């Protein structure tokens, strides 16, 4: 990690771009926003962003590369002071508030988050989620307050992103375009590396066994029939991954239920709660950290909290059978 990295238990590593670094990113992103076809789902635009992303500031490239090698104790990288609006002073539009909102047209912010994620892996989306868009809006939607999705505004339980899916994303990028005017919303993240030492031996063992089932959200079809039972802490016992969604994962027996409850308590104790401000990009390693969101009070007047979300996957070949015509959408 570079000198600007901050490492305390409750705030993940952060890289704050300098003014000149921010300008470099801004020039690159403003140019991409105008680069034909200027459509975020178009593979030609993605190619242009991928090429341009090699010109991101050196320190940012080095930090992303180091994070890909090992996502550290928190499994989260926070990059701050990124541009989210064009340098020519054009104002951002109002925060969208419709269900399933996505960002199909290229923009400065869409280019910034896509460029950063393309340095971590291949950007992907899911046909059955947010209409397969690569750049998605995380905004509160009227009438969906209590939904356990990113359209809600009541507490969103900690989860592995798309936990049920065999080809879940390896990384999730969340770029803050507009901050929550109520000041309440927090992106919450918690890593299994921080949690593991606080778990009992018994919970560790039970959580490493195939004693849990994770449901798909109603919008996803599971082709292969019922999902198989899985472990919540798969992998190396001393440094496992975490695979759980506290809304959608169900223990198969009492001991498994107790272990899951213990894990939830421990994860809460090691949670970082981030009040994102414009230009903050939180990258979550979806193997090592779970994330969720505190409750907040939307206004639905165009000034609400607004994030762009982009997923990245590390293995383009592994997902190929699911990507029609070698596109970026898993279906």
Q: Which residues bind ligand AKG (CB under 6 A)?
A: 138, 150, 156, 161, 172, 174, 187, 291, 293, 309
Neighbours of 238 (CB within 10 A): 7
Give 75's contacts (C-beta < 8 A, 6+ positions apart).
12, 189, 191, 192, 193, 284, 285, 287, 288, 289
Contact 259, 251 (CB under 8 A): yes
Residues 104-163 close enough to bind Fe ion by CB under 5 A: 161
* Residue 159 known to bind ligand: yes
How many residues interact with Fe ion (rule CB under 5 A)?
A: 1
Residue 156 interacts with which of Fe ion, ligand AKG, none, CB < 5 to 8 Å by class: ligand AKG
Closest alpha carbon to 13 in 49, 59, 53: 59
* Residue 303 known to bind ligand: no
Residue 168 interacts with which of Fe ion, ligand AKG, none, CB < 5 to 8 Å by class: none
* Residue 189 known to bind ligand: yes
* Residue 305 known to bind ligand: yes
Which residue(s) pair with 125 in the sheet?
A: 329
Q: Which is nearer to ligand AKG, 161 or 209 (CB)?
A: 161
Q: How many CA atoms lie within 13 A of 263 on its CB side?
A: 33
Q: Is 163 helix (H, G, I), strand (E, B) or coil?
A: coil
Contact 204, 196 (CB under 8 A): yes
Contact 14, 4 (CB under 8 A): yes
Q: Which is nearer to Fe ion, 83 or 173 (CB)?
A: 173
Residues 59-98 close enough to bind Fe ion by CB under 5 A: none
Residue nearest to Fe ion (CB): 161
Q: Which is nearer to ligand AKG, 31 or 104 (CB)?
A: 104
* Residue 291 known to bind ligand: yes
Least Å distance, CB 160 to ligand AKG, is 10
Cα separations (Å) of 324 from 122, 314, 321? 15, 18, 7
Which residue(s) pair with 139 in the sheet?
A: none
Least Å distance, CB 134 to ligand AKG, is 14
Q: Which is nearer to Fe ion, 81 or 313 (CB)?
A: 313
Residue 260 interacts with which of Fe ion, ligand AKG, none, CB < 5 to 8 Å by class: none
Give 93's contacts (C-beta < 8 A, 6+ positions apart).
none
Residue 270 interacts with which of Fe ion, ligand AKG, none, CB < 5 to 8 Å by class: none
Q: Which is nearer to ligand AKG, 123 or 138 (CB)?
A: 138
Annotated binding site for Fe cation: 159, 161, 291
Annotated binding site: 159, 161, 189, 291, 305, 309
């Amino acid at each position: 990690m570079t000198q600007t990295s901050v490492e305390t238990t409750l705030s993940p590593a952060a890289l704050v771009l300098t003014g000149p670094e921010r300008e470099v990113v801004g020039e690159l992103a403003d140019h991409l926003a105008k680069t034909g076809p200027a459509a975020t789902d178009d593979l030609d635009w993605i190619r242009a962003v991928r090429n341009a992303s090699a010109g991101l500031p050196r320190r940012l490239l080095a930090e992303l590369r180091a994070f890909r090698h090992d996502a550290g104790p928190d499994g989260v990288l926070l990059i701050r002071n990124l541009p989210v609006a064009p340098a020519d002073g054009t104002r951002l539009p109002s925060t969208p508030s419709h269900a399933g909102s996505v960002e199909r047209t290229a923009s400065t912010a869409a280019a910034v988050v896509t460029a950063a994620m393309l340095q971590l892996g291949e950007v992907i989306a899911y046909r059955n989620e947010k209409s397969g868009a690569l750049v998605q809006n995380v905004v509160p939607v009227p009438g969906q307050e209590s939904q356990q999705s990113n359209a809600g505004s009541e507490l969103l339980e900690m989860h592995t992103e798309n936990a049920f899916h065999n080809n879940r994303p390896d990384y999730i990028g969340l770029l803050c375009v507009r901050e929550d005017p109520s000041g309440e919303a927090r992106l919450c993240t918690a890593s299994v590396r921080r949690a593991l030492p606080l778990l009992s031996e018994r919970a560790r063992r039970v959580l490493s066994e195939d004693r849990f089932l994770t449901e798909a959200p109603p919008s996803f079809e599971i082709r292969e029939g019922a999902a198989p039972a899985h472990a919540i802490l798969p992998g190396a016992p001393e440094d496992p991954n975490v695979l759980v969604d506290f809304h959608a994962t169900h223990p198969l027996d009492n001991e498994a239920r107790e272990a899951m409850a213990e894990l939830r308590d421990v994860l809460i104790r090691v949670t970082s709660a981030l009040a994102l401000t414009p230009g903050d990009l939180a990258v979550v390693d979806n193997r090592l950290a779970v994330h969720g969101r505190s409750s907040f009070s939307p206004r639905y007047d165009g000034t609400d909290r607004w994030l762009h979300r982009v997923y990245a996957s590390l293995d383009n070949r592994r997902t190929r059978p699911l990507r029609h015509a070698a596109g970026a959408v898993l279906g």
